[in-house]
Amino acid sequence: MPDLLCSRWWTLCLASALSPAVLAATPAAPSGNSPLRDTRWTLQTLDGTVAASTGPQTTHLVLHSASQRLSGFAGCNTLRGRHTQRGTQLALTALASTRMACPQMQQEQRFIELLGVANAYRIEGQVLSLLQGETVRITFKAIPAMKKPARPKQ
Protein backbone atom coordinates (compact mmCIF):
# COMPACT_ATOMS: atom_id res chain seq x y z
CA MET A 1 0.00 0.00 0.00
CA PRO A 2 2.77 2.53 0.78
CA ASP A 3 4.27 1.92 -2.68
CA LEU A 4 0.93 2.71 -4.32
CA LEU A 5 0.58 5.97 -2.34
CA CYS A 6 4.17 6.92 -3.13
CA SER A 7 3.59 6.22 -6.83
CA ARG A 8 0.43 8.37 -6.88
CA TRP A 9 2.21 11.15 -5.01
CA TRP A 10 5.04 11.25 -7.60
CA THR A 11 2.52 11.19 -10.45
CA LEU A 12 0.68 14.14 -8.91
CA CYS A 13 3.96 16.05 -8.41
CA LEU A 14 5.03 15.43 -12.00
CA ALA A 15 1.63 16.48 -13.38
CA SER A 16 1.67 19.66 -11.29
CA ALA A 17 5.17 20.54 -12.45
CA LEU A 18 4.35 19.99 -16.13
CA SER A 19 0.97 21.79 -16.19
CA PRO A 20 2.42 25.31 -16.62
CA ALA A 21 4.65 24.10 -19.47
CA VAL A 22 1.72 22.46 -21.24
CA LEU A 23 -0.45 25.57 -20.85
CA ALA A 24 2.35 27.80 -22.12
CA ALA A 25 2.71 25.63 -25.22
CA THR A 26 -1.02 25.82 -26.05
CA PRO A 27 -1.53 28.21 -28.97
CA ALA A 28 -3.42 31.37 -28.06
CA ALA A 29 -6.50 32.53 -29.90
CA PRO A 30 -5.73 34.95 -32.73
CA SER A 31 -5.39 38.42 -31.26
CA GLY A 32 -5.37 40.38 -34.52
CA ASN A 33 -9.16 40.24 -34.91
CA SER A 34 -11.31 43.14 -33.80
CA PRO A 35 -13.90 42.24 -31.16
CA LEU A 36 -17.46 41.82 -32.38
CA ARG A 37 -18.86 43.99 -29.62
CA ASP A 38 -18.01 47.59 -28.75
CA THR A 39 -16.40 48.19 -32.13
CA ARG A 40 -17.74 50.69 -34.65
CA TRP A 41 -18.24 48.69 -37.85
CA THR A 42 -18.45 50.88 -40.99
CA LEU A 43 -20.30 49.49 -43.99
CA GLN A 44 -18.15 48.29 -46.90
CA THR A 45 -20.33 46.04 -49.09
CA LEU A 46 -23.93 44.88 -49.50
CA ASP A 47 -24.36 41.58 -51.34
CA GLY A 48 -20.85 41.92 -52.77
CA THR A 49 -21.37 45.43 -54.15
CA VAL A 50 -19.33 48.31 -52.73
CA ALA A 51 -21.62 50.50 -50.64
CA ALA A 52 -22.20 54.04 -51.88
CA SER A 53 -21.16 56.97 -49.71
CA THR A 54 -24.20 58.39 -47.94
CA GLY A 55 -22.85 61.79 -46.99
CA PRO A 56 -20.74 63.15 -44.17
CA GLN A 57 -21.73 60.37 -41.73
CA THR A 58 -20.81 56.81 -42.65
CA THR A 59 -23.24 53.92 -42.45
CA HIS A 60 -22.18 51.98 -39.38
CA LEU A 61 -23.19 49.53 -36.66
CA VAL A 62 -22.11 49.08 -33.02
CA LEU A 63 -23.05 46.02 -30.94
CA HIS A 64 -22.96 47.06 -27.28
CA SER A 65 -21.70 44.32 -24.96
CA ALA A 66 -23.16 45.56 -21.67
CA SER A 67 -26.77 45.84 -22.87
CA GLN A 68 -26.94 43.45 -25.86
CA ARG A 69 -28.32 46.38 -27.82
CA LEU A 70 -27.16 47.67 -31.16
CA SER A 71 -27.06 51.16 -32.56
CA GLY A 72 -25.97 52.65 -35.81
CA PHE A 73 -26.62 54.87 -38.77
CA ALA A 74 -28.26 53.42 -41.88
CA GLY A 75 -27.41 56.21 -44.33
CA CYS A 76 -30.24 58.61 -43.55
CA ASN A 77 -31.76 57.35 -40.32
CA THR A 78 -30.40 56.20 -36.99
CA LEU A 79 -30.83 52.54 -36.18
CA ARG A 80 -31.33 50.56 -33.00
CA GLY A 81 -32.20 47.03 -31.96
CA ARG A 82 -30.95 44.03 -30.02
CA HIS A 83 -28.36 41.36 -30.68
CA THR A 84 -27.76 37.85 -29.41
CA GLN A 85 -24.68 35.80 -30.13
CA ARG A 86 -23.81 32.16 -29.50
CA GLY A 87 -20.52 31.04 -31.02
CA THR A 88 -20.54 32.31 -34.59
CA GLN A 89 -24.34 32.49 -34.68
CA LEU A 90 -25.74 36.01 -34.52
CA ALA A 91 -29.27 37.39 -34.47
CA LEU A 92 -30.05 41.09 -34.92
CA THR A 93 -33.64 41.64 -33.78
CA ALA A 94 -36.16 44.34 -32.92
CA LEU A 95 -34.57 46.57 -35.57
CA ALA A 96 -36.07 50.05 -35.67
CA SER A 97 -35.01 53.32 -37.24
CA THR A 98 -36.04 56.94 -37.35
CA ARG A 99 -38.26 57.81 -40.33
CA MET A 100 -36.62 60.70 -42.12
CA ALA A 101 -37.04 60.74 -45.89
CA CYS A 102 -33.87 61.18 -47.91
CA PRO A 103 -32.94 60.75 -51.56
CA GLN A 104 -31.43 57.37 -52.42
CA MET A 105 -33.18 55.32 -49.73
CA GLN A 106 -32.67 52.02 -51.59
CA GLN A 107 -29.28 51.29 -50.01
CA GLU A 108 -30.58 52.05 -46.51
CA GLN A 109 -33.61 49.81 -46.99
CA ARG A 110 -31.42 46.98 -48.30
CA PHE A 111 -28.96 47.43 -45.42
CA ILE A 112 -31.72 47.10 -42.80
CA GLU A 113 -33.27 44.15 -44.65
CA LEU A 114 -29.95 42.28 -44.77
CA LEU A 115 -29.25 42.97 -41.08
CA GLY A 116 -32.55 41.25 -40.31
CA VAL A 117 -31.72 38.06 -42.24
CA ALA A 118 -28.13 37.69 -41.02
CA ASN A 119 -27.75 34.59 -38.82
CA ALA A 120 -23.97 34.19 -38.51
CA TYR A 121 -20.80 36.22 -38.59
CA ARG A 122 -17.10 35.91 -39.30
CA ILE A 123 -14.28 38.28 -38.33
CA GLU A 124 -11.00 38.25 -40.22
CA GLY A 125 -8.63 40.93 -38.98
CA GLN A 126 -10.53 44.22 -39.22
CA VAL A 127 -13.34 42.89 -41.43
CA LEU A 128 -16.71 41.69 -40.13
CA SER A 129 -18.83 39.63 -42.50
CA LEU A 130 -22.51 39.04 -41.74
CA LEU A 131 -23.77 35.86 -43.30
CA GLN A 132 -27.09 34.31 -44.18
CA GLY A 133 -26.25 30.63 -44.04
CA GLU A 134 -22.93 30.39 -45.88
CA THR A 135 -23.50 33.51 -48.01
CA VAL A 136 -21.78 36.79 -47.09
CA ARG A 137 -24.45 39.49 -47.23
CA ILE A 138 -22.74 42.51 -45.59
CA THR A 139 -19.13 43.41 -44.84
CA PHE A 140 -17.88 46.07 -42.45
CA LYS A 141 -14.49 47.51 -41.52
CA ALA A 142 -13.61 48.03 -37.85
CA ILE A 143 -13.10 51.37 -36.20
CA PRO A 144 -12.66 50.97 -32.42
CA ALA A 145 -15.61 52.51 -30.57
CA MET A 146 -14.96 55.24 -28.07
CA LYS A 147 -15.68 54.16 -24.52
CA LYS A 148 -17.46 56.69 -22.32
CA PRO A 149 -15.30 57.82 -19.40
CA ALA A 150 -16.39 56.46 -16.05
CA ARG A 151 -18.26 58.92 -13.86
CA PRO A 152 -16.44 59.83 -10.67
CA LYS A 153 -18.13 58.45 -7.56
CA GLN A 154 -19.53 61.10 -5.27
Tell me the pLDDT of the chain averaged across its residues: 81
Neighbouring CB atoms inside 10 A of 27's CB total: 5
Better pLDDT: 131 or 18: 131
Q: Closest Cα to residue 60, out of 42, 76, 34?
A: 42
Instruction: Tell me the per-residue pLDDT of 47-84, one tens digit each, with 9 for 90 and over.
Output: 999 999 877 889 999 999 999 999 999 999 999 999 99
For 26-37, write each residue's pLDDT tens digit: 233 334 688 999
- What confidence tier does 146 reach under pLDDT thresholds 50, 70, 90? low
Q: Which helix (H) or strand (E) holds 22?
A: helix 2-25
Q: Which domains does the chain have, with CATH numbers?
A: 39-144 (2.40.128.270)
**DSSP letters for 102-137:** -S--HHHHHHHHHHHH--EEEEETTEEEEEETTEEE
